Homo-oligomer: A and B are copies of this chain.
Amino acid sequence: MSTAPKALFFDVFGTLVDWRQGIARESEAILSAYGHSLDWYAFADDWRAQYQPTLEQVRSGKRAYEKLDALHRENVQPVLARFGVDANDAMLDALTNAWRRLPAWPDAPAALTRLRERFLMAPVSNGNISMMAMLARFNGFHWDAVLGAELADDYKPNAEVYLTACAAFDLAPQQCVMVAAHTNDLKAAAALGLRTAHVARPNERGPGKGEAAPGVVVDWAAADLTKLADQLCG
């Protein structure tokens, strides 16, 4: 079996879209209508900080898989309380759906279009299928299929998420490239035999707070997706 890469699997939050800017802006739009004026970036950061601990409960088997939408909705509630916001259902729904309206990093849409000429393309994200579908609509991404956590009923970096994605495309791990701005994602994928591409997002979590370079050896490393497309499409 040829090990030339045939499919690209994309991490989404942080790699393709700017969740911090998006959540700060969307939260402001939603909560300012209720008369709140918060440090919107601090609010986004606090909400995102709940992410890995909650996912770890699923990864470790302590709780059953639920869609990331449900976990986001659950996680935002103590954050709202800390910021002094009285929550209601409509507000929680709107905030949960904010994750479907995150702006792409400026280089992402055109680069994905170029890469699609050469490779099968799928998000392999912890986001659920509907969230990925709506984010794709919002940003004009064209996926061949939505793979990832919901197909595996588990969360990255657990192995099942990557392996289910390879299997869905009938490919060996060696024929698949995990593309991410996060070392832990690429490390897990590489351990299973997938090839790996790191995209630098040095400001993902705020100015200077993001990975400017991978922390492990990868097959490709690029300053942005345009440069990754230059490398992969020749």
A interface residue numbers (CB < 8 A to B):
69, 120, 128-130, 132-133, 136-137, 142-147, 150-151, 168-170
Contacts and interface: CB of A to CB of B under 8 A. Distances in A.
A151 B128 CA distance: 13
A145 B145 contact: yes
Contacts of A145: 129-130, 132-133, 143, 145-146
Contacts of A150: 168
Contacts of A147: 129
**Which of A128, A143, A145, A168: most chain B CB closer than 10 A?**
A145
Number of copies: 2
B129 A168 contact: yes
A144 B151 contact: no
A130 B69 contact: no
A133 B136 CA distance: 16
Contacts of A137: 144
Contacts of A120: 133
Contacts of A170: 69, 130
**Which of A69, A150, A169, A170: most chain B CB closer than 10 A?**
A170
A67 to B, nearest CB: 8
**Which of A69, A147, A168, A169: most chain B CB closer than 10 A?**
A168
A133 B69 contact: no
Contact of A144 (B128, B133, B168): B133
Contact of A169 (B133, B144, B169): B133
A137 to B, nearest CB: 7
Contacts of A128: 168
Contacts of A151: 151
17 contacts: A69-B170, A120-B133, A129-B168, A129-B169, A130-B145, A130-B168, A130-B169, A130-B170, A132-B145, A133-B145, A133-B169, A136-B144, A143-B145, A145-B145, A145-B146, A146-B146, A151-B151
A132 B136 CA distance: 18
A224 B146 CA distance: 28
Contacts of A130: 145, 168-170
